[in-house]
A and B are shown apart, each in its own frame.
Chain A
Amino acid sequence: MLTFPIYLDNNATTPLDPRVLEAMMPYFTGKFGNAASRNHAFGWHAEEAVDYAREQIASLINCSPKEIIFTSGATESDNLAIKGVFEMYASKGNHIITTTTEHKAVLDTCKHIEKIGGKVTYLPVNAEGLIDLQQLEEAITDKTILISIMYGNNEVGVIQPIREISRIAKKRGVLFFTDATQAVGKIPVDVEADGIDLMAFSGHKMYGPKGVGALYVRRKNPRVKVTAQMDGGGHERGMRSGTLNVPGIVGLGKACEIAQQDMEKDTARLSAMRDRLEKELLTIEESYVNGSREHRLPHVTNISFKYVEGEGLMMGVKDIAVSSGSACTSASLEPSYVLKALGLSDDLAHSSLRFGLSRFTTEEEIDFAINHVKEAVAKLREMSPLWEMFKEGIDLNSIEWAEH
């Protein structure tokens, strides 16, 4: 039985796994203690639960439980990592290297760094969405303190060459931070093997709750420190003050445990469904997958349908919940900066749909989505003067469009 709309926007957020909810429930009511209360059983139970979650998380990403700093989510983790390193290592340098396709939480934080006197290099990506390692190496100066490059992209799912990046960082004595929000819990992420110094991730992208995330901060080889961005009780080894969100942390821990246990199975199932969805949608004429198909998260595909306008397309696919590459909240259309960075023209960027599958997505839902999108594209093209011109062999670039 299908219920509408069908949710295929799991890069935005995932539903909470019922097993996670079950683990969290006692910590809202009976076990409500403050994990920082050292004098009574309420506090001890909460602290015990937090410590257990730390172990579950550490096990998933192969680090020590002591290296996990709990935050309110990936945006806070991104801010803490970049601003915290910038402040802590100010005597060493003021230069940060990142990419043009990062999440806004990284890009806007980098803009802030520039405002307070830092220097930021934004590496471009190729048509596949991947950075050039040689360009990265050439961008490093003796003032470079941090390389901030995301693990898997939220819009196109492209996975950057993390191990090669970390090798370069290590060789040049630069710290490596990765926003791994879309990757942790979806693909094997191992901070040791991957050579990561700091890593941001979040609960609600991996079937955990919203409002909780973590920053991994390496303690050995090298020992990394970040300057706290909030003053208070000195929680989390002094790097992040604030009473711990115990139920949220328990949820994040449980989500990590399930991810570790089910990853192989989930990945096999999700990538097979994603590939089927993609293969079917590519039978539509003039449709294109955006970004690398080789280096990609297993549950994501981003496809552009030429000669169809994005907002019209979103209206046509109203029975599925997906994201569009077009942020048309006003009269001025703003195509996705990620797709633009991949070299897409405005019209192709506008007409893209992002599909993000989850462990709860069913084959039946994919069947429906395939037909739904095919019908919507066909209907809109029937109505599109551009499609008619394309079919008549008219080069749209040869037309002098009315001033607009």
Chain B
Amino acid sequence: MAYSDKVIDHYNNPRNVGTLDKAKNNVGTGLVGAPECGDVMRLQIEVDENQIITDAKFKTFGCGSAIASSSLATEWLKGKSVDEALSIDNMDIVEELALPPVKIHCSVLAEDAIKSAINDYRVKNGLPALEMPKSHH
């Protein structure tokens, strides 16, 4: 498997690895994937009173592309509003990381993780959960 330079860079220097306090009301946590499928992503966002994502952290069990997809997602999330974050599309990740077709599912998983974290945040704050159209792959 030949990885792009960007995937290798994220793998070697992952951004924002870590854990936020999932008990806090302004932290949303998304946990997607399954161990037997070979990838599990946990993505967390911390949101301020203006609905701006001030921090994002991830931990991923998976291949280099899965690690890079979630690392990139955390980079993109920081500074965005929650609504803006919803517009991140998996194909943006595919393009940015030059993922080959067999690794597109990694980007889908990252998008799922973003939406799942946002949903967790919304539900915690009394908002209805959003539909997750791409979660089946």
> How many of chain A's residues have a CB under 8 angstroms from any CB in B?
31
The docked-state distance in angstroms from the alpha carbon of A399 to that of B36 is 13
The docked-state distance in angstroms from the alpha carbon of A326 to that of B39 is 13
B105 — which chain A residues lie within 8 A by C-beta? 331
- Residues of chain A from 350 to 404 with CB closer than 8 A to chain B in the complex: 350, 380, 382-388, 396, 399, 401-404
Question: Contacts A402-B32, A404-B33; is A388 near B59 (CB within 8 Å)?
Answer: yes
Q: How far is the CB of B3 from chain A (nearest CB, A)?
A: 7
* B79 close to chain A: CB less than 8 A: no
Task: Write the chain A residue with the least CB distance to B105.
Answer: A331
* A29 close to chain B: CB less than 8 A: no
Question: Contacts A331-B105, A347-B36; is A402 near B62 (CB within 8 Å)?
Answer: no
Asked if B66 contacts A312 (CB within 8 A), the reply is yes
Task: Write the chain B residue with the least CB distance to A333.
Answer: B38
B67 — which chain A residues lie within 8 A by C-beta? 312, 383
Q: How far is the CB of A97 from chain B (nearest CB, A)?
A: 32
Asked if B64 contacts A311 (CB within 8 A), the reply is yes
Question: Contacts A385-B31, A385-B60; is A402 near B135 (CB within 8 Å)?
Answer: yes
- Residues of chain B from 51 to 105 with CB closer than 8 A to chain A in the complex: 59-64, 66-67, 102-105
Chain B residues touching A, majority SS: mixed
Question: Contacts A310-B38, A388-B19; is A402 near B64 (CB within 8 Å)?
Answer: no
> In the complex, which of the residues B17, B38, B112, B136 contacts A382, with contact meaning CB atoms closer than 8 Å?
B17
Asked if A401 contacts B33 (CB within 8 A), the reply is yes
Q: How far is the CB of B14 from chain A (nearest CB, A)?
A: 6
* B23 close to chain A: CB less than 8 A: no
B116 — which chain A residues lie within 8 A by C-beta? 402
The docked-state distance in angstroms from the alpha carbon of A240 to that of B7 is 50
Asked if A331 contacts B61 (CB within 8 A), the reply is no
The docked-state distance in angstroms from the alpha carbon of A315 to that of B2 is 10
Question: Contacts A350-B38, A385-B42; is A404 near B137 (CB within 8 Å)?
Answer: yes
The docked-state distance in angstroms from the alpha carbon of A385 to that of B135 is 19
Question: Contacts A315-B11, A385-B42; is A331 near B102 (CB within 8 Å)?
Answer: yes
Q: Mask for B32-51, Cβ within 8 A of A = 1, else 0?
A: 11111111111000000000
* B1 close to chain A: CB less than 8 A: yes
B42 — which chain A residues lie within 8 A by C-beta? 385
Q: What is the interface of chain B, defined by CB distance below 8 A to chain A? A: 1, 3, 11, 14, 17, 19, 31-42, 59-64, 66-67, 102-105, 112, 116, 135-137
Q: List 12 A-B contacts (CB under 8 A).
A: A308-B61, A309-B61, A312-B61, A312-B63, A315-B3, A328-B63, A333-B38, A346-B35, A385-B59, A386-B40, A401-B40, A404-B33
Q: Which 8 A-B pairs have the closest CB atoms?
A: A401-B34, A311-B63, A385-B42, A385-B59, A333-B38, A384-B61, A315-B64, A346-B36
